[in-house]
Structure 1
């Protein structure tokens, strides 16, 4: 459902082959959970639930929140599991991914496919029955976009893979809104665009750290084909645009004072960090000097705090 990335460090050398010793039921359970990429789900829900508070202009019904969270988590888990099946060949070669379930042969591709499809069906049923058809349709669209447009068509073909493929990760903002209102408006579209513009800086910072991995499997992420200074420049451009768009929510949705203050402060800090990373990258390709993971972790914090402000604004300033 999304392409929000999380770093996964692995020990040097090839991934251990689980066929060399029997896997315990705990290993298998953990492998299936890992297929859903739980950290990605956490970040997705952090953009869904606050929008529900914002749409309700207060506290939304608890049952609706639970149903939306469960349906959204199942949908994201489904997309992640099927992504792991399709990308298992390159996952086995990359340090960041070689300890996933399929490269370690704890789960077979067939079993992972059935698991992913089952999660997708359950997600659709939950959202249809307990939320509404619009939210269920948006979740299905996000899954299809992530799997077909990003994973199958863009990821291995273009440096713009994450720019357009990242659209899938923007849908939780829409789903959170439609879960409460059963309609769309400009406010969730603004938040959709914020996540869209946030995704390249977030992912390119991580890809800069793991560019050798991507190069080794012929995935043309921008840091693979462009100098670090150009990556830094592009990150600054997207960061400035992201902050500018985030401030549009104030007039579009007539927010209180909390959101614009938070968006301004958080945005200024993020842009300053992006500019600092760009300056460090000029004239060098040494990651120890560029320190891209600082910006990666800051990007997670930025998005989390911005959406917390989205949730709190109607509660504090109404």
Structure 2
């Protein structure tokens, strides 16, 4: 009997992966059962579905930190790609399932709104309960493919919804993406902030540059090597199966994170942008609550199945920065 390419890949996983890795053939499955692909494993199929979906393409026009148009600043898409690449590098070194890491990384921010966390904060206040990780799960479960969803595996869905917040992913691959997401945004937000002229490298706390390095590549490299070394060491010493950082690197990361919140995320420039974003998102939200028939048909139809607030929230959350601005002009400017 000839084995399919998928079976061969699954056998390679079993032979080469760490005993703590999530094997493709041991997935807990999908919401709706499907016939298996002869070529791709379940996580490879999930990755492909995410890459080809509308929500993934829209990430290129969604803010990471800076709303101001600049071709060299990160967008939500480039952030996603960096999380993916760093995650895969570490996964390979730890002999984890790279395909699962990739699928979680590529899908983790699909539910992010226009204008980044500023848009998220507004929708949370107006809707009463909006978190981008929960919206990402809603995107892949319900909103994509005209309401059919992507029907992803349990492990990918678990990693997506638990990539931030108090939730703990069940797989080591999911735990890895959660740790890498924070490392990635801290590293590239420092670089973008310096390029934006918000601060200079000399303004960073001395302990950060001494321990993590003075360049973007040095900081990423330091984090990657530390995660690999510390995770291997702790697991070999019979510690809990988890993703680890050394105390020195973890403390330096928290100092850097505190600096970024004080000087960038809650800084003067971002606060000014936040006011504009809140005004645009809030105005659009109220407008479509009163004129739901002007939403795209798929969102308007959802009102019957769920409710008006949920449908308007879903629509606003899918908007890119540029589309939200154009909508605002169309609805409010003469």
Q: So what's the TM-score if we normalise by structure 2?
A: 0.29
Q: Which of the two has greater helix per residue?
A: 1
Larger relative contact order, structure 1 or 2 (CA cutoff 8 Å, min sep 6): 1
Provide the TM-score with structure 1 as the length reference. 0.30
